[in-house]
Amino acid sequence: MSATFLGMPGNFPKNSQKAVQDSQLRYNLRKATHTIRGKRASVVGELPDWAELRAAGKAIKDHTLRNLDRYLVQLERAVQDAGGTVHWARDAAEANRIVTALVKATGEREVVKVKSMATQEIELNQALAAEGITAYETDLAELIVQLGDDFPSHILVPAIHRNRSEIREIFLEKMPKTPEGLTDDPPALAEAARLHLRERFLRSKVAISGANFMVAETGTLVVLESEGNGRMCLTLPETLISVVGIEKLLPAWRDLEVFLQLLPRSSTGERMNPYTSMWTGAVEGQDFHLVLLDNGRTGVLADEVGRQALRCIRCSACLNVCPVYERAGGHAYGSVYPGPIGAILTPQLRGMGSELDASLPYASSLCGACYDVCPVAIDIPEVLVDLRAKAPHAAAEKAGMKVAGWILDDHRRLAAAQRIAAKVRGLVPKKRLPGPMSAWTDTRDVPEIPEESFRDWWERNERA
């Protein structure tokens, strides 16, 4: 990918306004989100103890976060004891430096990658490219995104905004040696990707992955996937480098029994994903490196309301039920974490310094559907509201709110204000308010001001 999300101009309202006018995108998104949503509901319905699993998942994550320092040290020891090397990275730059140095030490100029949000977050591919190392994405959707010089738009199915004919065009244009007469049939496209990647898998000496879970007690890393590209990367190369956010930890081996039930059912709507790989340290002769990534996570942890976002297991169930995501799509969020979880995670990880990040807490109707489906019960609406209060506001808005607060604080002031409003009602524009207030009327009509307030009407008619 050549472009970058960080510092993307604009804000969520502007980005989404553009997106909703793209009827192809809206059609793709609606079809995708409704399909996965239905599948998820049906497999979750199969488990009579879903509520208990969800409560356990939430509590395990909260307990881990409370004791994160202790468990990370335990994990480090277990990985080292099993022959792995552990590295710590305070931020994206440090993580990229560590990975780049590890790749260079092998003498290789190419790496294969398993789909990983952590490495997207730190923009590892760009950092490697700057050092002359080419990173090849191997997940089919990530490959489509990479070849199309595009951005992922969904956590689970990153190329969901593309349809089959667009994918065929991308393959024909960007993939060397596409099969002759390539059609837009999904099996034909998947076969083309298989041929394209197979040689690369067999050739590559270094792989980079993330992980869905790390177990402190045993030092085990866990990757869930469907295609087998993950297994190819994790198994075949001589060196494996895993970059994992510090919040991906679970205390005990036993805890996997909860998350291996919660994650596949919540994300792809399957009872189990086709492949799960687990490895502890250096196995089958591989050289194994684990890079533990902070990059803003400890800052999120320090926020009493916002820290619950760190429970997230990246299942994407919240995206698939969100009425805002369904219409605006993932790109509007300008982050590798789109949808409701992105709206609370991104502004916490990056801060609300940019216009885009400050707008994200508003990328929601607060309907609460995301909270209902979240397998670890993250109260996304609660965090959104909390972040809205913390977001920077324009001086005019702050002044207006202060005045409104002062008026609403006292019933006599309110009654006086209503009487004044009734007197000047003829002067108030019907559709657009002037100046800074125009922001409010961009998406609403001005409500009609009554001739007389209810209070005055009551005084006149009923009091006597």
Partner 1 sequence: MSAREEILARIARAVAGAEDVEIPRDYRTEAATGDLVGLFAERVDDYRAVVHVLPAAEAAGLVAERVAGRRMIVPDGFDLAGHESWPDLHTADGVVTGCAVAVAVTGTIVLDHGPGQGTRAQTLVPDYHLCVVRAGQIVSSVPEAIARLDPSRPLTWISGPSATSDIELSRVEGVHGPRTLEVVIST
Q: Per rule CB under 8 A, is residue 273 in the interface with partner 1? A: yes
Length of the chain: 464
Q: Using CA of residue 357, residue 359, residue 364, residue 366, what is the dihedral sign? A: positive
How many of the chain's residues bind partner 1 (CB under 8 A)? 92
Question: 462: which DSSP letter?
Answer: T
Q: In the range 19-38, which residues lie near partner 1 by CB under 8 A?
A: 28, 31-32, 35-36
Toward partner 1, which CB reaches closer, 164 or 402? 164
Distance of CA 190 to the CA centre of its chain: 26
Tokens of 104: 């260079």
Region of 86 on the Ramachandran plot (φ > 0 left; ψ -120 to 50 alpha; else beta)? beta
The smaller minimum CB distance to partner 1, of residues 181 and 187, is found at 187
The least CB distance from residue 121 to partner 1, in Å, is 16
Contacts of 260 (CB under 8 A, 6+ apart): 272, 276
Q: Would you count residue 62 as binding partner 1 (CB under 8 A)?
A: yes
Contacting partner 1 (CB under 8 A), which of 10, 179, 228, 400? Answer: 228
Q: In angstroms, what is the minimal distance from the CB of 279 to partner 1? A: 5
The residues with which 209 forms a beta bridge, in sequence order, are 242
Measured distance CA(41)–CA(52) in Å, rounded: 16
* Per CB under 8 A, 422 contacts partner 1: no
Q: Identify which of 72, 74, 123 has the alpha carbon closest to the alpha carbon of residue 99.
A: 123
Among 8, 124, 140, 321, binds partner 1 (CB under 8 A): 140
208: exposed, middle or buried (C-beta count within 10 Å: 0-12, 13-18, 19+)? Answer: buried
The reply on whether position 294 binds partner 1 by CB under 8 A is yes
The residue among 15 and 296 lying less far from partner 1, judged by its C-beta, is 296
Instruction: Identify which of 144, 214, 194 has the alpha carbon closest to the alpha carbon of residue 172.
Output: 144
Residue 229 touches partner 1, criterion: CB under 8 A: yes
For partner 1, the closer of residues 112 and 363 by Cβ is 112
Q: Which of residues 158-197 bind partner 1 (CB under 8 A)?
A: 159-160, 163-164, 167, 186-187, 189-190, 193-194, 197
**Residue 50, CB half-sphere, CA atoms under 13 Å: how many?**
19
| Residue 109 C-beta: closest distance to partner 1, Å | 23
Interface with partner 1 by CB under 8 A: which range of 9-17, 249-257, 374-382, 455-463? 249-257
| Closer by beta carbon to partner 1, 140 or else 332 | 140
Residue of 103, 246, 290, 380 that binds partner 1 (CB under 8 A): 246
> Can you tell me whether residue 345 is helix, strand or coil?
helix
Of 69-77, 409-417, 430-438, 442-450, which segment contacts partner 1 by CB under 8 A? 69-77
Q: What is the largest CA-CA distance in the chain?
A: 93
